[in-house]
């Protein structure tokens, strides 16, 4: 296999990205200086905070007193350093309390509908409480303890932050890689804190910087009113109050005290903006030269699949998945359930490959999602059962169902790139899946991740493990997605159009890889595709779906050679891979009727060249002979049709 070219691009660290922004860098330096001066005030301050020099009251700046003195001759610079301590402590308490409450609550509200129903009204209620009244009550209750008031302020600012976290997380929750993380079987906490939170730190940081600014102003205000720090301790608010009482005699004092508060507030806001931008820059793709492609002959995985195509085994391996009469519906007009798949039945044995083909909108993906237990919002199983190893998955609780994903049933989609979180390397994605499903430690999971990358025939697994999703080609991303899917040693892989987005040579490589992996692992594969070529290549048996129903099922070669349903016949006749050179392909007129517009009889009747009166009168059942079924009256003797409808 040809080694992939190009080295993984290194992103500059957050600190370097931050320092490249002049405003953020200046704010950071200023705040660092304030923190340092406050922490080391006893060392740096030329005078004690209470040291009075009655010979120099209300002095302007001089060599002895850099920022002058107050009405008692106390050194303003020294008192500003000591006064920064309660100010910064208050900000820290408020920000911590606000973040510790708002981040988990906001994430839960976004990711769990039940929590949201409680949280949203509560947030509205809390936001209407007047903060100053609460703060005064807390100060009265806790003997003017400023830390208690600042903690209360943290609680009061949390609802606003909950809204921000919830709104930002809702956007990210819709990203395909979050849906993919569910499919891989990751727990809610892992998804929230590993995949969603890192993407929303920008808005969170901006809002926390505003919370910090609010906290500083509140702390200053309370001390201005004499309600916080006990006199004669130094505080910025107390110093502003002192300055305001003497401003008719000397107004200089307001300048350093007011400037300390104003500059710190501005610096907090600028730093929040800078961190947000630097974080966002970290997610942006490098613009040049890092995308690589695997070699054409990347995967010489072996020749044929594990079993010859043909009729379903009768006494073969045990049935792994049995879907029986499955009907899934969305709420339609007036709230009435509108089926999108109807009475779908099939079974899949261990190690078998089953294809589902059909035009767009026929219900292939919905069938796969129903098996995974990940139907879109609003969709419900309204009939039938899905037995996994004999246990009815539709009757399982959410936790039990989630336990099947990744370990028993894995999934790959046609958009592997979108399913990979852009913030994490390929190795880290796979290691996370290994840890989730096997409980392995970090080092062991990392080793297994490298093994899996080798198993999916990616070149130089060590190096690929260090790459980010944007550095992979489509084929490499699909192999990486397969490695994640294999992490839980699944017994069934649902592959939804796994080759659709790839170019032709890579499609063939991925199909060969799937076959090899199936042989090596013994897993069953449910291949959802609109491509007869892929299904013919990989699947022993095939279901043909039309407008929500299975219209034909049987051994793939038999269906391709002698389709029983006119829809299968039409699909095959329109397939360029199966056409004869020089002969014009047949095009089926019309389109798939939308759910809710299905006719009462055969769903295909309006497009069928063989349609009879009986086809439109009643629903058509599947008739099966020799493991080959078709939902068509043409194969049923005419007298049986009449008898059935009498
Ligand atoms: N969120 C949704 N709300 C309402 N209807 C939906 C929703 N998602 C899918 N459907 C409908 O369900 C039907 C089956 O969709 P499904 O995605 O399973 O089709 P498909 O055969 O997989 O098509 P494709 O090959 O385009 O993915 C379609 O008619 C589609 O319009």
CA of 264 to the centre of ligand 1 (A): 54
Q: Which residue, 474, 475, 498, is CA-closest to 412?
A: 498
Residue nearest ligand 1's atom 5 by CA: 330
**Candidate from 3-7, 446-450, 484-488 with smallest mean pLDDT:** 3-7
Please state, in angstroms and rounded to a whole number, the distance separating the CA atoms of residues 353 and 308.
11
290 versus 639: the higher-pLDDT residue is 639
**Cα–Cα distances in Å, from 53 out to 35, 57, 117, 241?**
27, 7, 62, 20
**Candidate from 18-22, 46-50, 382-386, 449-453 with smallest mean pLDDT:** 18-22
pLDDT in tens, 257-275: 999 999 999 999 999 888 8
**Cα–Cα distances in Å, from 103 out to 197, 208, 271, 619?**
8, 11, 20, 53
What is the pLDDT confidence band of residue 181, given thresholds at 50, 70 and 90? confident
- pLDDT surpasses 90 at 288: no
437, 488 contact by CB (below 8 A): yes
Whole-angstrom distance between the N-terminal and C-terminal Cα of the chain?
66
The residue with tokens 């020799």 is 626
582 versus 181: the higher-pLDDT residue is 181
Please state, in angstroms and rounded to a whole number, the distance separating the CA atoms of residues 121 and 105.
13
* Pocket lining: 330 vs ligand 1, CB cutoff 6 Å: yes
What is the pLDDT confidence band of residue 323, given thresholds at 50, 70 and 90? very high
What is the pLDDT confidence band of residue 579, given thresholds at 50, 70 and 90? low
* Pocket lining: 361 vs ligand 1, CB cutoff 6 Å: yes
Residues 423-441, buried b or exposed e (16+ Cβ, 10 A)? ebbbbbbbbbbbbbbeebe
User: Quick one: average pLDDT of 116-125?
Assistant: 86
Which CATH number describes the domain made up of 319-408+492-579+587-638? 3.40.50.300
- pLDDT surpasses 50 at 292: no
The residue with tokens 């009204």 is 121
What is the pLDDT confidence band of residue 615, given thresholds at 50, 70 and 90? very high
pLDDT in tens, 626-636: 889 999 998 65
Residues 576-591, buried b or exposed e (16+ Cβ, 10 A)? eeeeeeeeeeeebeee
Please state, in angstroms and rounded to a whole number, the distance separating the CA atoms of residues 150 and 452.
51
- pLDDT surpasses 90 at 186: no
H or E segment to which residue 590 belongs: none
CA of 85 to the centre of ligand 1 (A): 60
163 versus 314: the higher-pLDDT residue is 163
User: Quick one: average pLDDT of 319-333?
Assistant: 91
What is the pLDDT confidence band of residue 191, given thresholds at 50, 70 and 90? confident
- pLDDT surpasses 50 at 645: no
Residues 202-229, buried b or exposed e (16+ Cβ, 10 A)? bbbbbbbbbbbbbbbbbbbbbbbeebbb
* Pocket lining: 603 vs ligand 1, CB cutoff 6 Å: no
CA of 144 to the centre of ligand 1 (A): 62
Question: pTM for this structure?
Answer: 0.66
Planar angle of CA 583, 584, 585, nearest 5 degrees? 115
* Pocket lining: 549 vs ligand 1, CB cutoff 6 Å: no
pLDDT in tens, 354-371: 999 999 999 999 999 999
Q: List the chain domain ranges.
A: 33-39+80-283, 319-408+492-579+587-638, 425-489
**Candidate from 114-118, 339-343, 515-519, 544-548 with smallest mean pLDDT:** 114-118
* Pocket lining: 355 vs ligand 1, CB cutoff 6 Å: no
At residue 477, φ and ψ (nearest 5 deg) are -65, -40
- Mutate which of 362, 377, 551 to test ligand 1's pocket (most atoms within 8 Å of Cβ)? 362
638 versus 621: the higher-pLDDT residue is 621
Pairing label, strands 353-357, 541-546: parallel
pLDDT for 282 equals 64
What is the pLDDT confidence band of residue 602, given thresholds at 50, 70 and 90? very high
Residue nearest ligand 1's atom 12 by CA: 340
3-state secondary structure of 528: strand
* Pocket lining: 530 vs ligand 1, CB cutoff 6 Å: yes
What is the pLDDT confidence band of residue 283, given thresholds at 50, 70 and 90? low
What is the pLDDT confidence band of residue 298, given thresholds at 50, 70 and 90? very low
User: Quick one: average pLDDT of 581-603?
Assistant: 84
Residue nearest ligand 1's atom 1 by CA: 376
**What CATH architecture is 33-39+80-283?**
Orthogonal Bundle (1.10)
- Crossing angle for the helix pair 504-521 and 474-486, to the nearest 10 degrees: 20
Average predicted confidence (pLDDT) for the chain: 85
């Amino acid at each position: 296999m040809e080694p992939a070219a190009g080295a993984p691009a290194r992103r500059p660290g957050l600190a370097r990205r931050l320092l490249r922004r002049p405003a953020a860098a200046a704010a950071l330096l200023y705040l660092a200086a304030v923190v340092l001066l406050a922490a080391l005030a006893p060392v740096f301050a030329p005078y004690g905070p209470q040291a009075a020099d009655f010979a120099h009251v209300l002095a302007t700046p001089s060599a002895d007193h850099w920022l002058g003195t107050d009405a008692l001759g106390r050194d303003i610079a020294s008192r500003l350093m000591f006064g920064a301590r309660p100010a910064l402590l208050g900000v820290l308490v408020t920000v911590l309390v606000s973040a510790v409450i708002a981040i988990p609550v906001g994430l839960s509200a976004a990711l769990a509908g039940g929590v949201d129903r409680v949280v949203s009204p509560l947030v509205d209620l809390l936001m209407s409480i007047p903060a100053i009244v609460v703060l005064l009550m807390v100060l009265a209750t806790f003997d003017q303890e400023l830390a208690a008031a600042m903690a209360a302020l943290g609680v009061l600012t949390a609802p606003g932050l909950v809204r921000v976290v919830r709104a930002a997380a809702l956007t990210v929750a819709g990203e395909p890689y979050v849906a993919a993380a569910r499919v891989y079987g990751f727990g809610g906490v892992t998804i929230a804190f590993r995949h969603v939170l890192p993407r929303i730190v920008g808005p969170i940081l901006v809002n926390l910087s505003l919370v910090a600014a609010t906290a500083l102003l509140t702390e200053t205000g309370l001390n201005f009113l004499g309600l916080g720090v006990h006199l004669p301790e130094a505080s910025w608010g107390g110093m502003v109050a002192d300055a305001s009482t003497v401003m008719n005699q000397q107004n200089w004092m307001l300048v350093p005290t007011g400037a300390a508060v104003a500059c710190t507030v501005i610096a907090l806001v600028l730093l929040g903006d800078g961190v947000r931008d630097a974080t966002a820059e970290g997610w942006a793709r490098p613009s040049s030269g890092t995308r690589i492609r695997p070699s054409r002959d990347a995967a010489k995985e072996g020749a044929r699949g594990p079993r010859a195509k043909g009729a379903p085994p009768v006494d073969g391996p045990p049935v792994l998945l049995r879907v029986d009469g499955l009907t899934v519906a969305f709420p339609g007009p007036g709230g009435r359930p509108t089926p999108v798949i109807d009475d779908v039945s099939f079974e899949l044995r261990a190690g078998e490959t089953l294809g589902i083909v059909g035009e767009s909108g026929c219900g292939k993906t919905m069938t796969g999602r129903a098996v995974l237990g990940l139907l879109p919002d609003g969709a419900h199983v309204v009939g039938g059962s899905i037995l996994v190893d004999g246990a009815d998955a539709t009757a399982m609780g959410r936790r039990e169902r989630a336990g099947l994903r990744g370990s028993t049933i894995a999934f790959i989609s046609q958009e592997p790139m979108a399913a990979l979180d852009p913030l994490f390397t390929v190795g880290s994605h796979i290691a996370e899946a290994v840890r989730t499903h096997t409980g392995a430690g970090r080092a062991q999971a990392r080793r297994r991740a490298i093994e899996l990358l080798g198993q999916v025939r990616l070149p130089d697994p060590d190096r690929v493990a260090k790459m980010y999703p944007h550095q992979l080609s489509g084929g490499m991303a699909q192999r990486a997605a397969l490695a994640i899917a294999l992490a839980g040693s699944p017994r069934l892989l649902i592959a939804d159009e796994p080759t659709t987005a790839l170019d032709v040579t890579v499609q063939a490589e991925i199909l060969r890889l799937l076959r090899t992996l199936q042989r090596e692992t013994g897993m069953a594969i449910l291949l959802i595709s609109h491509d007869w070529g892929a299904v013919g290549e990989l699947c022993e048996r095939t279901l043909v779906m039309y407008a929500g129903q299975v219209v034909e099922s049987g051994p793939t070669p038999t269906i391709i050679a002698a389709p029983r349903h006119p829809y299968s016949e039409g699909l095959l006749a329109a397939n360029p891979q199966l056409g004869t050179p020089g002969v014009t392909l047949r095009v089926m007129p019309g389109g798939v009727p939308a759910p809710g517009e299905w006719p009462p009889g055969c769903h295909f009747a309006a497009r069928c060249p063989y349609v009879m009166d009986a086809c439109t009168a009643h629903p058509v059942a599947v008739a099966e002979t020799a493991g080959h079924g078709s939902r068509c009256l043409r194969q049923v003797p005419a007298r049986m049709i009449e008898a059935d409808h009498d």
